[in-house]
Structure 1
Amino acid sequence: MAPGESPRRKTRERSHPHHERRRSQPQSPKKPAHESTTSQSSSQALSADSLARLNLLNQHERARARAEETTPKKPRRKRHREVVDEKIVVERSRRQHKRKKRRVVSGALLEEGEGPRLKGLRGGHKNNDEHSSGKKKKKQRLCGLPFELHLGVELTFVKVIIGGVLLVLIIIIVAVAVVVSKKKGSKSDSSSNASTNDSGKPSNSNLDGISQSDIPVAAKGTDLDPFSWYDTTDFNVTYTNETVGGLPIMGLNSEWDDSKSANGNVPPIGKPWGSYSETPARGVNLGGWLSLEPFITPSLFNKNGVIDEWTLTTYLGNQAKPTLEQHYATFVSEQTFIDIANAGLDHVRIPFSYWAVKTYDGDPYVFRTSWRYLLRAIEWARKHGLRINLDVHGLPGSQNGWNHSGRQGSIGWLNGTDGALNGQRSLDLHDQLSKFFAQDRYKNIISFYGLANEPKMTVLQPSDVIAWTSSAYTLVRKNGINANVVFGDGFGGLLNWKGKLTGLSGLVLDAHQYVIFNRDQISFNHSAKIDYACRGWSDQASLSSNTATGFGPTLFAEWSQADTDCAPNLNNVGLGSRWEGKFLSGDPQTQVLSPGCPAKSASCSCSSANADPSTYSSAYKEFLQMFAEAQMHSFEKGWGWFYWTWKTESAAQWSYQAGLKAGILPAKAYEPKFKCEGSAPSFDGLPETY
């Protein structure tokens, strides 16, 4: 939301990130810690056996002594030598047992990759008790031997018993290791469907048939080397350096299938969608994934001075690539697309930034790693019938100065010393992207091709943005893009686009609607928010979509059901909220220093809005779902909508995934409970302070 807001149109005063907001090799075969514990238990048990045996022999000796009082003396065998012999046998057996145990753990099992999994036995009293009880049972049998057995037979029997105990111990250890292995293998990460090894890293088993010698020396360790990838799940790992438009096709399979539809209400990808004015898009964003935002993934931004992707990658240095690639590999998985389709959605908007394609001198960004994950995401969407809205979220120089563009601060795109240079760099970026995505494999699945997310036209010269948009449109069409081309409304008011950029077929205006970044609209009470969503935004959508009153085709590619700006880091890292009157933007035009909630009192609080949805009252849940469905209704007066966003770490009112779980969104997007033709409750019982 920019300055100059209108009561009928959100204009963001944003300073927040999205809208001011807005193989693993085996371990060294050293003895595992649990081995010493188990060996010690075995040694103690054998000592107990020896003591029991010695006690038995002493009893035997006393019996013989009593018998000798009434019978003639016979030559006696030397007991000392016999006992020493027994101690030698026992000691040898103990050493042999210890050697065998070491071979089991650090030999065959470790070579088969099972060794580390035995760590589940470390310090396990239950397992030690099981071993002890087994030995105790054997000991009882030994003590019950008849005295008349010859000592040599008895010692032989002792060896057999010891061997049996060892065998039982080995069987128990192997069995427990298998159980532990199976349990670990059965665990599933809700954020990733890739199999993982003990370290949590994807197993990358599809590399097993590939030889590292197949990778040219010059490519080893580069982005083209699949052995350097953190996660190879569902990637084609056959080495290739082929490019289209100068962009690598790494990871792509040669074939694809466009026969799937997201649900029974929409056509399969291989068939034309038809008219978006008649069948509007129902979609969701994958925000905070390939273009980071602090309020979506605050765990990545919990370092002093880290406020955007520029400062994060600067802070991380050579750890930036592994850190971000692990985020790319785990924050979104194939299950994400399965869940999106199951929610009754049919489109996915994927924000990504220029460093997926190109970086420049002085850029700290991680170059091109996100590109591979973008390509895989499109294939997963295809597999589950979801169409794509490609969104360039960050352009060279930053098109809006907000943290979700990559760098918070000044605007250097079409503005300032390097403004023209960055404008040309952005055209060069689209030259490459459009050549790549003009390939046949993308003609059906890419429905919307975005040029620039949220250019801040309240600062930029509107004429410069319009001229750049016209040039970019011409360029991508020349390169073969047949998708709808999307440009941002720039926060200048939807109806101000009437008569501009006319005659460009398939050009679509993109508006992002929120009440919470406008100091007047955030103070609407519950009923007024729903009424505004139903009436105000519905009217805007209808008027904007009509060329007689507005631009024409209009899409609403961002909105949420949040009714406050309370989510931490939403208004930039460390800044407060308008809701509580603590929005210290540093700009007199945008800062809000008095409570903005409907009650306009010191009792305005963010605690309830930021609480876990399980604590929401039934009335508040009813309001949140109704507020969401009112927006869906209005935005379908245009070409449809994309909720911001699918997943967050903690900001539940910005997460479609969390909203479904909490029961504050319709189970199927195409089956809302509330439509604006009906009347909304008054919600008088809900506090206006939270």
Structure 2
Amino acid sequence: MQRDGNLDVIANHYATFIVEEDFAQIAAAGLNWVRIPIAFWAIEVYPNEPFLAKTSWTYFLKAVEWARKYGLRINLDLHAVPGSQNGWNHSGKLGDINFLRGVMGVANAQRTLDYIRILAEFISQPEYKDVIPFFGILNEPQASGGGDSGYMPKESLRAFYAEAYKIIRTAGGSGAGNGPVISFHDGYYGFGDWTGFLAGADRVGLDSHPYMVFSSLTPGEPADFASAPCGRWSDMFGGAMSSYGITAAGEWSYAINDCGLYVNSVGQGTRYEGTFPGYSGALGSCSRWNDYTTWTPAIKAGLRDVGASTMDALGDSFFWTWRIGESAATGKVEAPFWSYKLALEEGWAVTDPRTTVGHCQSLGSSGNSFYAAGGSFTGAQLGQGVTDAIAEVPSLASYTWPPLEVGLVGNAALLPTYTATGPIPTLPVPSQPVGTPAPTAVTDFGTGWNNPADTVLMQVPIPGCAYPNAWDANNAAVPVC
């Protein structure tokens, strides 16, 4: 892809990278859900933000119709928010975190809540709620450590999640079980820190992304890692299901090491070769692992075992990612551990995910403890018997919004905020396709807004306030607004 800022290249990528055939292949592979990452710029951008506004929403609507057609359900994942919630490239900018952190930490979070609200209103409509029943509201917030470590404080992230819960359940309108399951990423604290959070809430869940790479690495062939997912994750995920409720792994891959073109971002090197910044101790060359055309039947069989063990251990999970694009230089996928489509084509994917139940046990380990014990969720966790999804959660009152503190600057009361005076940019719905001959009936696509009683205005900048750059404000002066 070009690096000249040509937004037409991005628009072409949306139009060609994932198409209807991919959804047909996903369904044919025995998979029943897709997790679709979306960024806030699907809704709008502010001046000087270098993102292609609104275009991705057009293609998300296509994905909704393809999911309907092939019997798939969607986990909508808000992957990038204003200011960056983790400082990684997939959050909109590689570098500093400016969400619940730094001078613009509160304002960026306010803006994010409105985007969550807009998405929630759309997917809570009766025309969409059954095909998009799951909403991951913030991908991988880098919270673990908090306070003086420079990340966002844990209690501030909890307060954000509590406010988002109220917003989403308001968007769902009256009645029990309306709107999506709300998925909270664990912020890298681990599941134990979330036990009891919003107890009794209507359909909330936990998300974590278990990878065998990105920290310490162990050398070996794929077969050496066959039972590793069982030991690492079976009790972890099963325990969270028992103590908290709905728990899903939003991402996993076949990667037994961090080899692969740009896996660690452009120019970052790899831990496996000892070229990743701050990491030493090379284990070998990545050339072997990047060229799947040289992989032996033993390698592929080992990877199938890794995949089957992972599915059995996690219980409910999403692979990252369906497709990796082919290199323009070689015409091949250069990060083969990360493409489920390639794994199916080349023979290391599990061909029927249903057969993975009990795989850990077959390897002498244990599978997901919740399912092994015949566990079940409570009525509220399934959206049953809930009369008032907000009033029936007493712990919501213990969280203050805006938060009392943010990372780096502490007292959040000193920071600039936005004000609720702007119009809401309701997301557009599909248009009735033109038929030949003309359609005999008109499809109801909804209005884009589920709850007409939800009329609070949008949080927008205060006129005359000289806000610092929302993406680079960690060391900025606090404006007087």
- In the superposition, the TM-score normalised over structure 1's length comes to 0.49
Q: Which residue of 2 aligns with 1:555?
A: 248
What is the CA–CA distance in structure 2 between the aligned matches of 1:524 and 1:538, rounded to whole Å? Answer: 22
* 1:522 to partner: Cα distance: 4.1
Which has the bigger relative contact order, CA under 8 A and spacing at least 6?
A: 2
Q: Which residue of 1 aligns with 2:51?
A: 365
* 1:499 to partner: Cα distance: 2.1
| Paired letter, 1:622 | A
CA shift digits 1:652-684 (9 cap, x unpaired): 210110000111012222234981111279xxx
What is the CA–CA distance in structure 1 between the aligned matches of 2:287 and 2:193, rounded to whole Å? Answer: 38
Q: Which residue of 1 aligns with 2:269?
A: 576
SS of structure 2 residue aligned to 1:349:
strand
Q: Which residue of 1 aligns with 2:96?
A: 410
Q: Would the aligned equivalents of 1:448 and 1:486 in 2 still touch at CA under 8 Å?
A: yes
Q: Which residue of 1 aligns with 2:153?
A: 461
**1:512 lines up with 2:209 in the alignment:** yes
* 1:529 to partner: Cα distance: 2.6
| Paired letter, 1:464 | S
SS of structure 2 residue aligned to 1:486:
strand
* 1:482 to partner: Cα distance: 1.9
Q: Which residue of 1 aligns with 2:241?
A: 545
**1:609 lines up with 2:292 in the alignment:** no
* 1:525 to partner: Cα distance: 6.3
Q: Which residue of 2 aligns with 1:130?
A: none
What is the CA–CA distance in structure 2 between the aligned matches of 1:614 and 1:526, rounded to whole Å? Answer: 16
| Paired letter, 2:362 | G
Q: Would the aligned equivalents of 1:516 and 1:522 in 2 still touch at CA under 8 Å?
A: no
What is the CA–CA distance in structure 2 between the aligned matches of 1:674 and 1:666, rounded to whole Å? Answer: 14
Q: Would the aligned equivalents of 2:68 and 2:131 in 1 still touch at CA under 8 Å?
A: yes
Q: Which residue of 1 aligns with 2:108?
A: 422
CA shift digits 1:170-196 (9 cap, x unpaired): xxxxxxxxxxxxxxxxxxxxxxxxxxx
* 1:552 to partner: Cα distance: 2.6
What is the CA–CA distance in structure 2 between the aligned matches of 1:501 and 1:462, rounded to whole Å? Answer: 14
Q: Which residue of 1 aligns with 2:303?
A: 624
**1:479 lines up with 2:176 in the alignment:** no
* 1:78-157 equivalences in 2 (<5 Å): none
What is the CA–CA distance in structure 2 between the aligned matches of 1:380 and 1:576, rounded to whole Å? Answer: 37
* 1:620 to partner: Cα distance: 0.8
Q: Would the aligned equivalents of 1:495 and 1:543 in 2 still touch at CA under 8 Å?
A: no
SS of structure 2 residue aligned to 1:446:
coil
- In the superposition, the TM-score normalised over structure 2's length comes to 0.69
Identity of aligned residues (%): 37
What is the CA–CA distance in structure 2 between the aligned matches of 1:491 and 1:485, rounded to whole Å? Answer: 18
**1:676 lines up with 2:367 in the alignment:** no
Q: Which residue of 2 aligns with 1:445?
A: 131
- The change in CA–CA distance for 1:625 and 1:437 in structure 2 (over 3 A counts) is same
| Paired letter, 2:228 | Y
Q: Which residue of 1 aligns with 2:414?
A: none
| Paired letter, 1:468 | F
SS of structure 2 residue aligned to 1:643:
coil
Q: Which residue of 2 aligns with 1:492?
A: 189
Which structure carries more helix by proportion? Answer: 1
* 1:527 to partner: Cα distance: 5.3
* 1:594 to partner: Cα distance: 1.4
Structure 1: runs of 5+ lacking an equivalent:
1-299, 304-314, 585-590, 598-603, 682-690
Q: Would the aligned equivalents of 1:466 and 1:501 in 2 still touch at CA under 8 Å?
A: no
* 1:387 to partner: Cα distance: 0.5
What is the CA–CA distance in structure 1 between the aligned matches of 2:221 and 2:189, rounded to whole Å? Answer: 25
Q: Which residue of 2 aligns with 1:594?
A: 281
| Paired letter, 2:51 | Y
Q: Would the aligned equivalents of 1:629 and 1:674 in 2 still touch at CA under 8 Å?
A: no
What is the CA–CA distance in structure 1 between the aligned matches of 2:233 and 2:357, rounded to whole Å? Answer: 19
What is the CA–CA distance in structure 2 between the aligned matches of 1:608 and 1:674, rounded to whole Å? Answer: 31
Structure 2: runs of 5+ lacking an equivalent:
145-150, 173-177, 326-332, 366-481
**1:657 lines up with 2:341 in the alignment:** yes
| Paired letter, 2:161 | T
**1:375 lines up with 2:61 in the alignment:** yes
What is the CA–CA distance in structure 2 between the aligned matches of 1:444 and 1:679, rounded to whole Å? Answer: 37
What is the CA–CA distance in structure 2 between the aligned matches of 1:576 and 1:680, rounded to whole Å? Answer: 36
Rg (Cα) greater in structure: 1
